[in-house]
Amino acid sequence: MSFGLRGKERIRLGVIYVLCAIVLVWALAPIYWVAVSSISTRRELYSQPYKVWFPSEPTFESYHTIFTQGAKFRDGSFSPTAHLMSAGLRNSVIISVGSAAIVTLLATGAGYAFARMRFRGKNAIFLLIMLMLPLPIWVSLIALFFIMSRLELVDTLLGLVLIFVTLLLPLAVWMMTTFVRDIPSEIQDAARVDGADRWRILYSIVLPLARPGMVAVFLVAMLTTWNNFLIPLIFSRSDDSQPLTIVLTLFIGQYEVAWEDMSAAAVVTMLPPFLMALFFQRYLVRGLTMGAVK
Amino acid sequence: MKSSARRLLSSDSRYVIVVLTPIVLLIALFIYYPAVDTFGASLTNRNLRIRRPPKAVGLDNYVKLVQDDEFWEVTGRSFKVVLITLPLEMAVAFGIAMLLNQRFPGRGLVRTLAILPWMLPGVVNGFLWGWLLNGEYGALNGFLYQFGLISEYQYWLREPDHQLFWVCVVQTWTRYAFPTIILLAGLQSIPDDLFDAAKVDGANAPQRVRYITLPLLLPSFGIALVVEFIAAFQIFDVVWTLTAGGSAGGAMNPFTKTLMLYNYELVFRDLRIGLGAALSYIILVMSLAVGVIFVMRVYNQGVQEQ
């Protein structure tokens, strides 16, 4: 009897693992293939009809090429876009880390105000911020382009950071408000009675306890900014401010750029989000679903 | 002077002002003011290609769009993307959510890996699949060939109809993780006794899914559908790298031109600001309207079923 049960359980697990394998192939195969492409030699990558599913002599040459010479055209010459990748990497890092840091700070201060204080206009301001969340930002972007060009902020890192901070604010403020509300308020109340002002309470009592929330906001903000394409497509013009998502499309646009080079560029572009998704998924899922569901 | 001003405001008010002013300013200047400004532009014939001061034209731009064949073609295409993507996405998400709702060793790891594509940049996803589907060297061709499923390499992205279908597949791949998470949360909130009771009453597995799981998941499906409708309706990044073919300033591929791409083209390529602004408001109204109708219908159905 017990043997029969165990046999049944074994079949159940067997079926489950087969299904898991199918799911994982669906989810990971495209990622695997681009990673393999980026470290393949040209001869193996273009082999057909039989493909080489793992390179016999892995090479990092494509990475070296795109970072030092610009992408290689199929005829062997190099695109005149040397250092596009290094500039893109630098810009991506500055924009995403900068936006995430600023939005986290702003949202923490505001989150404390919305969660724990009473003031005139509180509900109105909260509504004003949150109304942005369901509205497609596209209607704002058209006129915003002309505002930014009047402010001479087109094609600058500062301009992009300001836009991303603004777009991230509603979700960040809302997340931080919920996080601060979940912190027990007894210690804060006691500190108030002892005469501590709001800055002091925020700094020495709320911040240490709100750290997981701040990490979540920071990570979500960084991921969304890093992955974004539409904003820099409109507001970037040159390697002064173009992030990697744009650089990748520039390579793809140049028809004759070698696939192994484009693959290497794609891997570099997706590596930070990939690692974040692998190691900080709990934080990210919480923030990203909150934003969509409310 | 300064200290008297300080005394006028309590320390609490000063905190609120310092903390909220930058936020309110940014949102007012970067979101609300331009939104109004865009609407204003939609009532003019502003066009940066033509050197003349823009003139107020009332609702002409909206009328022009509604009478334009290309507008309806593009709108139809966007709805087609929605109608193909949503069922595909929900089916994939429901299947994976049911699987991840089982208990088995390694479930956490599978879950982590299964929702990875969602966190990657959309432009990368478009590129990944474009390379996978490549007619000369693509991995899909190699894979199918090696298993004897095709006898020669196919150009998967050559036919216009196929292009749109693959756009939907890649959109599904990019987005299915979100409905999966929502449905999984819904599944986990269904109490086990319901299934036990149904089992005692002799309901088989498909019946239990049909009469317990699906009705109880209806609210989760509703949320997922609304969010995914907006995502599919305003699809942009994935198309850009998969089939748009207009990256280097060349002409955009007309066969996968959806509403957002059309709008981008009107404003930032053709510089027809007035017309593009009008279109952006039409997209806004359509998104909100369909969203609201959707929520109402799903909600009503949910009420009736109970």
B81-111 pLDDT, tens digit per residue, is: 999 999 999 999 999 999 999 999 999 999 9
Residue A184 makes CB contacts below 8 A (sequence gap 6+) with none
Kindly report the nearest CA distance between residue A91 and chain B, in angstroms.
16
- Structure confidence at residue A191 (pLDDT): 84
Lookup: tokens for A26: 């669906």
Residue A178 makes CB contacts below 8 A (sequence gap 6+) with A111, A115, A213, A290
- Structure confidence at residue B181 (pLDDT): 95
User: Residue A254: is its pLDDT beyond 70?
Assistant: no
DSSP A203: I
Determine the residue of chain A that is closest to B259 in CA distance: A138
Residue of B89, B120, B270, B284 to mutate, testing the A interface (most A Cβ within 10 Å of its Cβ): B120
- Structure confidence at residue A294 (pLDDT): 45
For the four alpha carbons of B275, B277, B279 and B281, in that order, the dihedral sign comes to: negative
DSSP A78: B
Task: Kindly state the average pLDDT of the residues A184-191.
Answer: 84
- CB contact under 8 Å between A117 and B38, yes or no, is no
**Alpha helix ranges (H) inside A39-156:** 42-45, 61-68, 84-116, 122-130, 138-150
- CB contact under 8 Å between B112 and A281, yes or no, is yes
Nearest to A221 by CA among A290, A150, A136: A290
Residue B296 confidence class, pLDDT cut points 50, 70, 90: confident
Q: How far apart are CA A171 and CA A291, in angstroms?
A: 6
Residue of B11, B12, B20 to mutate, testing the A interface (most A Cβ within 10 Å of its Cβ): B20
- Structure confidence at residue A83 (pLDDT): 82
Q: How far apart are CA A230 and CA A190, in angstroms?
A: 48
Residue A149 φ then ψ, to 5° = -75, -30
- What tens digit of pLDDT does each residue of B141-170 get? 999 998 888 888 888 888 888 999 999 999
- What tens digit of pLDDT does each residue of A6-37 get? 788 899 999 999 999 999 999 999 999 999 99
Interface pTM, i.e. ipTM: 0.91
- CB contact under 8 Å between B124 and A270, yes or no, is yes
Kindly report the nearest CA distance between residue A279 and chain B, in angstroms.
9
Task: Kindly state the average pLDDT of the residues B8-35.
Answer: 91
Q: Does A11 touch chain B (CB under 8 A)?
A: no
- What tens digit of pLDDT does each residue of B37-79 get? 999 999 998 888 887 888 889 899 999 999 999 999 999 999 9
Amino acid symbol at B251:
A
For residue A16, the chain B residues in CB contact (below 8 A) are: 99, 102, 104
For residue A34, the chain B residues in CB contact (below 8 A) are: 127-128, 131
User: Residue B7: is its pLDDT beyond 80?
Assistant: no
Taking residue A65's Cβ as centre, other Cβ atoms within 10 Å add up to: 18
- CB contact under 8 Å between B178 and A245, yes or no, is no
Poorest-pLDDT segment among A48-52, A229-233, A242-246, B202-206: A48-52
- CB contact under 8 Å between A198 and B15, yes or no, is yes
User: Residue B306: is its pLDDT beyond 50?
Assistant: no
For residue A147, the chain B residues in CB contact (below 8 A) are: 29-30, 33-34, 37
Task: Kindly state the average pLDDT of the residues A126-151.
Answer: 88
Q: Percentage helix, strand, coil, to 5, in chain B?
A: 75, 0, 25
Length in residues, chain A: 294
For residue A141, the chain B residues in CB contact (below 8 A) are: 34
Residue A140 makes CB contacts below 8 A (sequence gap 6+) with B30, B31, B32, B34, B35, B38
- Structure confidence at residue B199 (pLDDT): 84
- Structure confidence at residue A135 (pLDDT): 72
- Structure confidence at residue B229 (pLDDT): 92
- Which residue in the set A19, A30, A227 is minimally distant from B132, CB to CB? A30
- Structure confidence at residue B289 (pLDDT): 87
Nearest to A161 by CA among A109, A169, B282: A169
- What tens digit of pLDDT does each residue of B203-247 get? 888 888 888 899 899 889 988 998 899 899 999 999 999 987 655
Q: Does A269 touch chain B (CB under 8 A)?
A: yes
Residue A213 confidence class, pLDDT cut points 50, 70, 90: very high
Structural domains present in chain B: 62-305 (1.10.3720.10)
Residue A257: beta bridge partners?
A: A73
For residue B30, the chain A residues in CB contact (below 8 A) are: 140, 144, 147, 162-163, 166
3-state SS assignment for residue A14: helix
User: Residue A39: is its pLDDT beyond 50?
Assistant: yes
Q: How far apart are CA A218 and CA A135, in angstroms?
A: 22
- CB contact under 8 Å between A128 and B27, yes or no, is yes
- Structure confidence at residue B6 (pLDDT): 53
| A145, A226 contact by CB (below 8 A) | no
Kindly report the nearest CA distance between residue B235 and chain A, in angstroms.
11
Kindly report the nearest CA distance between residue A284 and chain B, in angstroms.
9
Residue of A12, A73, A140 to mutate, testing the B interface (most B Cβ within 10 Å of its Cβ): A140
| B266, B70 contact by CB (below 8 A) | no
- CB contact under 8 Å between A34 and B127, yes or no, is yes
User: Residue B193: is its pLDDT beyond 80?
Assistant: yes
- What tens digit of pLDDT does each residue of A51-92 get? 888 888 899 999 998 898 877 777 777 777 778 899 999 999
For residue A270, the chain B residues in CB contact (below 8 A) are: 120-121, 124
- Structure confidence at residue B202 (pLDDT): 85
User: Residue B20: is its pLDDT beyond 90?
Assistant: yes
Task: Kindly state the average pLDDT of the residues A127-146.
Answer: 86
Q: Percentage helix, strand, coil, to 5, in chain A?
A: 75, 0, 25
Q: How far apart are CA B130 and CA B243, in angstroms?
A: 8
Task: Kindly state the average pLDDT of the residues A251-262.
Answer: 80
- CB contact under 8 Å between A136 and B24, yes or no, is no
- CB contact under 8 Å between B117 and A139, yes or no, is no
- List the Cα angle A43/A49/A53 in 5-degree steps: 60
Residue labelled with tokens 């206009």:
A121
Q: Where is mean pLDDT largest: A172-181, A220-229, B293-302?
A: A220-229
- CB contact under 8 Å between A51 and B37, yes or no, is no
User: Residue B3: is its pLDDT beyond 60?
Assistant: no
**Alpha helix ranges (H) inside A131-206:** 138-150, 157-181, 186-193, 198-201
- CB contact under 8 Å between B237 and A266, yes or no, is no
Q: Does A193 touch chain B (CB under 8 A)?
A: no
For residue A230, the chain B residues in CB contact (below 8 A) are: 236-237
- Structure confidence at residue B140 (pLDDT): 92
User: Residue A5: is its pLDDT beyond 80?
Assistant: no
- CB contact under 8 Å between B99 and A16, yes or no, is yes
Q: How far apart are CA B9 and CA B30, in angstroms?
A: 29
Number of CB pairs, chain A paired with chain B, less than 8 A apart:
253
- What tens digit of pLDDT does each residue of A270-282 get? 999 999 999 999 8
